[in-house]
Amino acid sequence: MEGAATAQALSRIGLAGLAVMGQNLALNIAEKGFPISVYNRTTSKVDETLDRAQREGQLPLTGQYNPRDFVLSIQRPRSVIILVKAGAPVDQTIAALAEHMEPGDTIIDGGNEWYENTERRIGEASSKGLLYLGMGVSGGEDGARNGPSLMPGGSHGAYMNIKDILEKVAAQVEDGPCVTYIGEGGSGNFVKMVHNGIEYGDMQLISEAYDVLKNAGGLSNSELADIFAEWNRGELESFLVEITADIFNVKDEKTGSGELVDKILDKTGMKGTGKWTVQQAAELSIAAPTIAASLDSRYMSGLKEEREDAAGIFKKEGLKEEINFDVNGSSVDKKRLIDDVRQALYASKICSYAQGMNLLRAKRAEKGWNLNLGEMARIWKGGCIIRAVFLDRIKKAYQRNPGLANLMVDTEFAREMVQRQAAWRRVVGLAIQRGISVPGMSASLQYFDTYRRSRLPANLVQAQRDYFGAHTYERIDMPGAYHTEWSKLARKARV
C-alpha cells in the first residue's frame, strides 16, 4: 500500500526555471489539473511560486529545493520543462538535472533557443537515453498563464508523453488547441524564431501606420485609440492592433498630463530572434524585406543621439523635420487617409506573413522536416503575439494548396492585394512626400511589385556580371550559357 501512496504523491510533470514565464506556465499546468513539481536555483523563487499556487486556487503544485529531489518527485517516464535563459544556462540546467534522470525521461526546453543548439542537445540527451524537445512558447507572461501557443519539435515520443498536458495548457481556438507536433530536430525553435520575425515586421508596420496618421493626418492619441479599436473589429483584428488601441488611451501618471506613449524614448530593444530570422533568410536565399526593414529600423532607432544631431544639421541646411512636397499644398483628407492606411497596413502584413511562410518552406526542404504550413498558421490563431483573425484564412490557403508558391498568389489574397494596391501606393507616396520613413510598408510594396512582374531589370545585372567577371548569362530565346566580349564589341560599336 505504501508504494501506491508514494506513486500517488508523485507529480505528473516538472518545471525548472521560475522567472515570470516559468512561474506562469507552471501555474497554468497546475490549474488544468496536472500535479506539478517546480524547482529554481534561487530558492526564494520556489517559495514565491508556492505562495502564488495557494493564492490562485490551492493549485496542485509542489516546490523542490535541489535537482535530485526535484527529479525524483516526478512520475516516470519523467518529463521536465526548463525555462531559463538561452545558451549556457540551458546546458548547466540540463547537466544538473540529467545526473538524476533515467533512460526514457524527457527534457523540454521552452526558451527562445537557437535551433542548432537544440539539435546538439538532442544528440547529447540521446547518448544518455533521454528524449528531448525544443518547444517555442509564445504569448508573453499572460499567454503562459492563461494559454500560450506552443511549438514543440524534436522527439515525437517525448511529445506523445505530454501531449495531453500541452493540449489542455495551450490557448484554445474553434479548431483545436494552439499546439501541434512541429517536426524533427530543432524545428520547434525554428518555427518560433520565424514567428518572432513576423512579429518584428508586424510591429514595425503598425508603428508606421501610427506615424503616418499622426504626422501626415494630424490625428490625436484619442482619435488613434478609436481608429485602432475600430480596425480591431474588422479584417485587422489581432492581438497587436488590440493592444495598440489600449496604449493610446493610457495617461501619463508620473506627470499627470498627456498620454504615456508620447513620453517614451524612441529607442527599440531586441533579444535577437529577429536578427536570426533575417540571417536565416539570407542563408536560404529567401527574400524577407519586410522583416529585414523592421530589424534595420530597430538598429536606426538605437542611434537616438546621432539622429538628434542629424536633425539639427539638416535643419540648419534648410530642411524641416516634416517635409511637404505636396504640389497642391492641399491638406490631407483625414477620412480617406485613415481608410488608405488601413488597407496599406493589411496588404503589408500579408507580405510579412508570406515571407515568414516562405522561410519555413525553404527550411523544410533543406532539413527534410515535415512542417505543415497550414497547421503553423492554425496554432498561431490563439495565445501568441502574432495571433490574428486572418491566420484562419492563411490556414485555409495552405489547405487549398499545400504547395502554394507564395501566400500572395492564393486566389483570395491575390484579389485583396489588387483591391488594396491603390490605397497602399497613396500611403507610401504621401509618406515619401512628407519625409516620413515607412521602411516596412515600402519594403512590402516593393516585394509585391517585384514578385508580380514577369520581367525584371536583372537582365542588365547579368550583362554587367558577364562584362566584368565573365560570369555568363542565359538567353530568353535559346538554351545554354553565353559569354560576350562586351568591351571589344562596345569599342567596335563606338567606331
Burial pattern 450-471, b for ≥16 Cβ within 10 A else e, equals: ebeeeeeeeeeeeeeebbeeee
Asked whether residue 271 is marked as a ligand-binding residue, the answer is: yes
The residues that are catalytic are 192, 199
Which stretch of DSSP H or E encloses residue 26?
Answer: helix 20-31
| pLDDT given at position 323 | 65
Architecture of domain 193-452: Orthogonal Bundle (1.10)
Largest interatomic CA distance in the chain: 105
Evaluate the omega torsion of the peptide bond into residue 60 and state whether it is cis, within 30 degrees of 0.
no
Rounded CA gap, 75 and 14, in Å? Answer: 9
84 marked as binding residue: yes
Residue 101, pLDDT score: 97
Consult the annotation and say whether 483 binds a ligand.
Answer: no
| Three cell numbers, residue 283 | 542563408
Q: Is 461 annotated as a binding residue?
A: no
Q: How confident is the model at residue 268 (pLDDT cuts 50, 70, 90)?
A: confident
Predicted confidence band of residue 271 (pLDDT cuts 50, 70, 90): confident
pLDDT band at 273 (very low <50, low <70, confident <90, very high): confident
Please, which pLDDT band fits residue 322 given cuts at 50, 70 and 90? Answer: low
18 annotated to a ligand binding site? yes
CA 410 – CA 288 distance, rounded (Å): 18
Q: For the chain, give every domain's residue range.
A: 13-181, 193-452, 458-493
Q: In the predicted model, is pLDDT for residue 326 greater than 90?
A: no
| Mean per-residue pLDDT over the chain, rounded | 93
Q: Which CATH architecture has domain 458-493?
A: Up-down Bundle (1.20)
Residue range 13-181, CATH number: 3.40.50.720
Note the pLDDT of residue 320.
Answer: 78
The angle that helices 411-434 and 334-367 make with each other, rounded to 10 degrees, is 120
Decide whether 13-181 matches 193-452 in CATH topology. no
Total Cβ atoms within 10 A of residue 82: 22
* Residue 269 pLDDT: 80
Confidence at residue 176, expressed as pLDDT on a 0 to 100 scale: 94
Residue 192 has pLDDT above 80, yes or no: yes
Q: How far is it, in rounded angstroms, from Cα 79 to Cα 4?
A: 20
pLDDT at 4: 35
pLDDT at 145: 95
Kindly state the average pLDDT of the residues 21-34: 97
How many Cα atoms sit within 13 Å of 330 on the Cβ side? 6
> Which amino acid is it at 169?
V
Report whether 27 belongs to an annotated binding site.
Answer: no
What was the pLDDT predicted at 5? 34
What are the cell numbers at 293? Answer: 526593414
pLDDT in tens, 392-431: 999 999 999 999 999 999 999 999 999 999 999 999 999 9
How do residues 234-252 score in pLDDT, each as one tens digit? 999 999 999 999 999 999 9
Instruction: Tell me the C-alpha distance between 3 and 68, whole Å.
Output: 20
In 139-227, where do the E strands start and end?
149-154, 172-173, 176-177
Residue ranges of alpha helices (H) inside 371-438 are 373-379, 391-400, 411-434
